[in-house]
Amino acid sequence: MKNGFRQSMAALHTWTGLLFGWLLFAMFVTGTAAYFQEEISRWMRPEVVATAAPAPATQAAIAWLQKTQPDADSWFITPPSARNPATEVFWQPRTVEGEQHARRRRNDTSATLDGNGRVVTTRETRGGFFLYRFHFDLHYMPVLWARYLVGAAAMFMLVAILSGIITHKKIFADFFMLRFGKGQRSWLDVHNVTAVFALPFYLMITYTGLVTLATLYMPWGIAANYASPETFFAEVFPNGGETQRTGTAAAMVPIGPLMAVATREWAGAAVGSVQIANPNDVSATITLRRAADTAIGARGESMVFAGATGRMIRGGAPEGGAMATQSVMIGLHAGRYAGWGLRWLYFLSGIGGTIMVGSGLVLWTVKRRAKLPDPTRPHFGFRLVERLNIAAIAGLPAGIAAYFLANRLLPTGMTARAEWEIHSLFLTWAAVLLWAIARPYRRAWIESLALAAGLFASVPVVNALTVSRNMLTGVMTGDWLFVAFDIAMLLFALGFGWAARKASTVNAKPARGMRTMQNMAAA
């Protein structure tokens, strides 16, 4: 504090932003993409075309399960919706006491059906769901470690936002100042404009992200009041316990009327999932859960019916104030309730946050290069930050484009195909990092940005050459998802191409002082 409160906040803002900046950039990129995870998943499974009404499609799925998995312990059905036209089914095979079962892959116990209960053969992929999970679970590391790391990054982000607000006396005035070609000043303008652009969103998304995993980060209240975490969760999320099969066969009641009852109970909200325990047995139960996209605070409220008679066993219990508050916090963060307009606002705000973090990382190097004893020969730590900036800002987007390309280019019958799609993302990301280390700094920026542009531009081309659904056919048939996806890829290609072009126009021979700083900023 010897330099004053605002100067101390500026230092805090700088270092909290840098230490977790690369991880925060990745979290913003993948979290922003996750707002359209359903649409990304549909694009990555072009075989799924037809739409269907939820109740008839669910009944058709039950009929299919009756034929193929009548002895399963339980069935799980996700009815079609406006954003996902397919019916997804999953079953838990019967477990016999004392019998050893081989561990099954998920594909062995799941299927995708159309509205008539027919299997739709789709390519193996994790689609947009992988980007959503990477946002807070990362990859190639234990989930618990990843969530602690992500939580630390989110806390640093919250500190960086608050200290940034304190530091900038004219932060709202700076929103209207965007000057190009001014070196460090331009980078600071970009950082300020994108920071103010959606400041309430950044505060909300960071705080609610921490609240989402509050029981993991602050478990002491549970430990002080419950014998075990399992006891706490059993009380908060009661499921009524498991019911054993009686061995007496019984026909299942039609699902449509039960779904209608649940929809009326939830004021018109749709059913998001159906779980049937002990199917075809007199002890069967049907659990209907409310769709998460029907309200801000929806978190799977459920109704339970007897499978043989249709009698309601348990309705939705009212939430307490604490649980209702947490539900709203999670709903605000995930944005599943958002309609198209609000979802695009979420997405654009996420893009602004991505640019804010990326420009802050570059600004750190721009401000310090001119202060080095020899700006043309920076020390190892400075060079490391520069290379990591390239890998984060250009490498991750290039990897995501490679992820989309792998979805179209890998053989559909390939073993572990979904994992290799994911591997392609990280291999491309690692390749950009190695390239940034091997090449001169300025050339590495140009070439990495150009690579990202080229990969995004090739996605619509490869899509048109490998599947029948693309921009041209989409315009002719009204398949607007594929039209919008191709346009988005081309816009990203133009953005990265423009950035590569700007980097290539910088004077290759830097001068000293401010001129040196300006040239490196543009690079």
pLDDT at 11 over 50: yes
Query: Distance of CA 277 to CAs 91, 102, 304, 315, Å?
Result: 10, 22, 11, 17
Element counts in the chain: helices (H) and strands (E) = 22, 7
Which pLDDT value is given to residue 318?
Answer: 60
The answer to whether 283 and 244 have CB atoms below 8 angstroms apart is yes
pLDDT digits (tens, 9 = 90+) for 477-518: 888 999 999 999 999 999 999 999 988 886 544 434 344 434
Write b or e for each residue in 233-253: b if 16 or more Cβ atoms lie within 10 A of its Cβ, otherwise e: eeeeeeeeeeeebeeeebebb
| Burial (Cβ within 10 Å: 0-12, 13-18, ≥19) of residue 104 | exposed
pLDDT digits (tens, 9 = 90+) for 420-447: 999 999 999 999 999 999 999 889 999 9
Query: Distance of CA 372 to CAs 39, 104, 312, 386, Å?
Result: 47, 58, 73, 14
pLDDT digits (tens, 9 = 90+) for 68-125: 999 899 999 999 998 889 999 999 998 655 444 444 555 578 999 999 999 999 999 9
Six token digits for residue 423? 């591997």
Six token digits for residue 466? 């490998």
Three-state secondary structure call for residue 274: strand
- Distance CA(86)–CA(89), nearest Å, equals 10
Six token digits for residue 340? 């198209």
Of 14 and 464, the one with more pLDDT: 464
Q: Which helix (H) or strand (E) holds 60?
A: helix 54-68
pLDDT at 41 over 90: yes
Average pLDDT value for residue range 315-339 = 82
Q: According to the 3-state scheme, what is the secondary structure of 465-516?
A: HHCCCCHHHHHHHCCHHHHHHHHHHHHHHHHHHHHHHHHHCCCCCCCCHHHH
The answer to whether 55 and 256 have CB atoms below 8 angstroms apart is yes
pLDDT at 307 over 80: yes
Instruction: Give the dihedral of Cα atoms 217, 219, 221, 227; nearest 10 deg.
Output: 170
Six token digits for residue 357? 């973090």
Query: How much is the mean pLDDT over the chain?
Result: 87
Average pLDDT value for residue range 407-418 = 94
